[in-house]
Chains A and B, each alone.
Chain A
């Protein structure tokens, strides 16, 4: 159908162009101010980028040379092989999953009560809320690798430090997300409990928690997914997991094994993605019923 009408529509419109211009002047006017604004924004963005490239010593020669070497690496990676250390890698992967699970769960358990202190509909006092929120922000803005370095000083090298590091950095993130979920929760059940003579603890237990629990659970699952990724890298500073082998093997250019490790990580993350996606849908669906 379009094949037949398209040319005729176009022909009619082109033949009638002057009349169209006269009838809809607004559509044919060029918006110079808008274009200028867009051009200025783009010029600003790319000007800053150019300055950045200059300041950070970007050089075409280095990029070309490096790309050549990267191509060589890619060829060397090609048949990925475990080099007979599959069992060791598998154990390290298990360690990584353990770190992610434990870190996420610990963070969620500790953040749960704190989140209520940061929610407007639970703690009306703005100063207390402000203090809790800023505290969470400070914890959150320190990267997980930095937390890992700090915990290594306390419990020594190994996966335990990694789990604690993930717990710390997620504690801040969960506190913020949970308190937002609590604030957007439906007010009516809590009001009903208050009207029936419930204390404020009853209000939280029966009015708020049943409503927010599925949302929180889905957020925890989502973070478990992303923490599996984080847990693969904290080995770089010595906090256990598969990252330790990854760093070591990259440093000594055992690229076939590196490729194998990366593939293992990709498969694991995809599997976790799939499982937690199913679980998330089940949890959220349960709330909708």
Chain B
């Protein structure tokens, strides 16, 4: 009997199997054919193993980077990149993260069904990363697996339901309707940008009246951007660390500058593999989530990934990215002056969340709104990750971390509560649930008091 139980526990300790089972459940609920069901289950299972393999490649490039940075500057250097850190986390806490991700979707659908916050978080990749972060914070600070899954799933469901609500007032201005929402872990920074634009900007002078040269299309090729930006960072740090140290301790005698370029290439290769793994896993899970949520919450707004706003204001995309990146550089400068761990601007995060901040900031406050709003986002995603690092246990020592503002805010809330005791986390989650239902009741009552607007909206896209 013990043997059977032990085998079963082994199964649940293997995250790839959990992910395969979640996919299987989704495929069965969609009533897919037997062959599609078997194929999808196997692909999700293997996809997770692909992701784990990529994590190894990224670690191989990040570990010497950390040593070298420490040698060169005497402090820890951290490059925030979601894919880079989530690979490592999912290798260590994958089963719990996968289950938080899964039950988080259930909680999201239930909250959207029962409250006025009718947002369905369709961006599975960032939801998976969020679940991974929650799993680390809870388990590294002493929660048992099942407790982490219970409270983590509720927290995950709350965050994924409420985060789109933060940006929705600004989204209405961008898209000119109320049928889609923004679903990304950068939402807190993006919403802040809207607020900054509203109070400090001037909506009459839009970024879109500017003449900005094109030709930055290469910025959209993730592999090229990561390899080149990491190449620059590796080269700079290698030059400071010096050929003697690098060739003796790290490169096994290889010419130090070539070694630096190779490490950057390996980092980009690892992220490429992780992205491929995440893509395969989600391809088998998200369609079921979409189908089920559409049935259960027919009037929901799908919360979609940030590129949906990019086409509304192409100039603001570029302005926002640059302003956010400048914010990241300013933040790094402050950290260098203060001493201690240094957050190096992660270019992907500054692009994705900075560009969206630019579009939203432009909608509320024109050029000035786009610049100041996105710069605020850049500062947020420099300082928030730093504050969350201590809650991440061993993961905090990996020289990479979760990059976007929502990770920072929810990480600080959950991490702070964990430090105060397990009961504080439970209290936080329960209060969050009560507040959500209370806010929903108030909004519903207020809406009932107002005359209803004529509903003339285009067909939702998702």
A and B, one complex? Answer: no
Interface residues of A (CB under 8 A from B): none
Interface residues of B (CB under 8 A from A): none
